[in-house]
A and B are shown apart, each in its own frame.
Chain A
Amino acid sequence: MDVTGQISAEFIMLTGFMLLVTFCVAICIGHESELIHAMAAARSGASEGVIADSQAIYPDEAYSDYNRVHNRLISPSGVKIIKIDYLDQGYYPLYNRTKIQLRIYATGPPLNKTDLNCLGERINFHARKSICEVFKTENLTNSFFNPAFSDKYVFTTGDVHWI
């Protein structure tokens, strides 16, 4: 009997079944991985915002504003991210995407609420900016990167929760 070039029916069925399962898992992972990547980008951006806050090196406009109104922010502040999570707000027909609100929790120095808001806005800005840069969607949004877009999601940010 010629034994070359033959495989059993079990092997074909098993391979076919494995491929089917793998494709299904790959599709699910692909869908989830976009959100995971967006969250990773948000974390990376938030860290950049924290460093800008911590070192108190600001863009010219912000610096001039702080110099006039929020003088304390000219000095470095010890800011640390505690966690970043998100709230799935469902399908948003205006953008034809699922809307996700990022919620960032951080600790900071004992400042008044307006100063903390300034620090928080910078963290949020960098988180949104990073998402837009990773998914190359800067052209879809405004100069504040609000909202930020990925292929299937639109991201907004809530006020940073100071703990």
Chain B
Amino acid sequence: MDCHGSLSVDFIFATFMVLIMVGVMSNLVSDRFNMVDESKELIDSRSLAESIAGSINQVYAGGNGHYIKISTPPEIGKNSNYCIMVNSSGVLVRLEGRRGMAYMIPELISNSPTSLKSSNIILFPARDYIILNKQDGNGENWIVIINE
């Protein structure tokens, strides 16, 4: 009996069923991948905001003259279009129409070590910054954030 080039009905049917199942599940799998990417972005955003707030708290606790250098990542997830705002309310991260806030202890934030005044400081991706604790004439401790 010639047995070359023959396929059983079972095999053809099973292959057909597998192909149908793969087709049906592809949407679900792609949805899961998207979800993982988006979730990673959210977690990285929160982590970055908390990390900066933590550094600011650490500098504040260190007292006058204490400073820390920080670097902002070039992108969050696959998104390089993010920004971080630091003001007396806390550290606000903005990413693709989403926002999240990390609270911090100090309320006096300035962008200049020479003229201390309350400021809204924006940190951009892939930059280096110095967070400095500086005391004013009234004994108040200010957090100064400057671009290195």
Task: Identify the closest chain A residue to B50 (Cβ).
Answer: A76
- Chain B interface mostly: helix
Is the CB–CB distance between B46 and A44 below 8 Å?
Answer: no
Within 8 A of B (CB), among A10-46: 15, 19, 22, 26, 33, 37, 40-41, 44-45
CB distance from B35 to the nearest CB of A (A): 5
Let me know if A136 is at the binding interface, CB within 8 A: yes
- B24, A52: Cβ atoms under 8 Å? no
Residues of B whose CB lies within 8 Å of any CB of A are 1-2, 9, 13, 17, 24-25, 27-28, 31-32, 34-35, 38-39, 42-43, 45-46, 93, 95, 97-101, 103
Q: How far is the CA of A51 from the CA of B25 in the complex (A)?
A: 24
Taking the nearest CB of chain B, how far is it from the CB of A129, in angstroms? 10
In the complex, 14 of the A-B residue pairs with CB atoms within 8 angstroms, ordered by the A residue number, are A15-B9, A22-B13, A33-B24, A37-B24, A37-B25, A47-B39, A55-B100, A56-B101, A57-B46, A59-B98, A63-B99, A67-B101, A133-B27, A134-B31
Q: Quick one: which of B9, B31, B46 contacts A55, CB cutoff 8 A?
A: B46
Interface of A is mostly: helix
Query: Which chain A residues lie closer than 8 Å to B25 at the CB level?
Result: 37
What is the bound-complex CA distance between A122 and B4, given in angstroms?
59
Q: Please indicate the chain B residues that have their CB under 8 angstroms from the CB of A63 in the complex.
A: 98-101
How many interface contacts (CB-CB < 8 Å) are there between A and B? 75
Q: Which residues of B contact A136 (CB under 8 A)?
A: 27
Q: Are A57 and B35 in contact (CB under 8 A)?
A: no
Docked Cα-Cα span, A57 to B102, in Å, equals: 10
CA gap between A132 and B55 in the complex, in Å: 42
Contact: A60 with B97, CB < 8 Å? yes
Contact of B93 among A41, A51, A57, A134 (CB under 8 A): A57
Whether B9 and A57, one on each chain, are in contact in the complex, defined by CB atoms closer than 8 angstroms, is no
CA distance A51 to B38 in the complex (A): 10
Nearest A residue to B38, CB-CB? A48
A contact residues around B42 at 8 Å (CB): 51-52, 55, 57
